Amino acid sequence: MTKAEKVQYVMDELERLYPEVPVPLDHKDPYTLLIAVLLSAQCTDERVNKITPLLFAKADNPYEMIKMTQEEIKAIVRPCGLSPMKSKGIYGLSHILIDKHNGEVPASFDALEELPAVGHKTASVVMAQAFGIPAFPVDTHIHRLMYRWNFTTGKNVVQTEKDAKRLFPRELWNKLHLQIIFYGREYSPARGFSLEKDFITAKIGRKTAS
């Protein structure tokens, strides 16, 4: 198979497996998505979805969030890990959204990445899933699979993102990055890797290190 044929095969199989791709993190608007994505760093989506209802019951917008103390936020989000950093980020970015953006989450990579505790991946998720702007957030599953499929060198997520954007059509990025995540979780985990189960890797690539 040529590289182009491999890319097309991946897209076809992912579309067959996951024609519909729900956003993994429960949210109702860009602000609650931003907070959920921030909390998901080094934490499972399942756990985040158990914690955010508790937090959003008290504050589901920046104006209510800044009425809480960082300690109160930290106590709620502690099960997500990294609670000192995350609570500080949530409190700080809520203030900035009010002071600089009229309480709204900006639909801009630069503006999002200026917010505390918001890196490029978090900004990419918000841009893609909240605003529908093409982005290709790279998480551990995407980084691992892009390498296993010989689509990237695997040196770092920055290079993996560049390679993904180069290989896949821009209009598919927002759906495709979720399809790859779902495939990674179901068929190609970091541990217990099996070519028999991971049929896409068996078909197009043989790199199994990540």
Residue numbers annotated as active site: 121, 139
Q: Are 70 and 88 in contact (CB under 8 A)?
A: yes
What is the separation, in whole angstroms, between the first and last Cα of the chain? 23
Residue 144 near residue 160, CB atoms below 8 Å? no
Nearest to 164, CA basis, from 173, 156, 155, 175? 173
Neighbour count for residue 22 (Cβ, 10 Å): 9
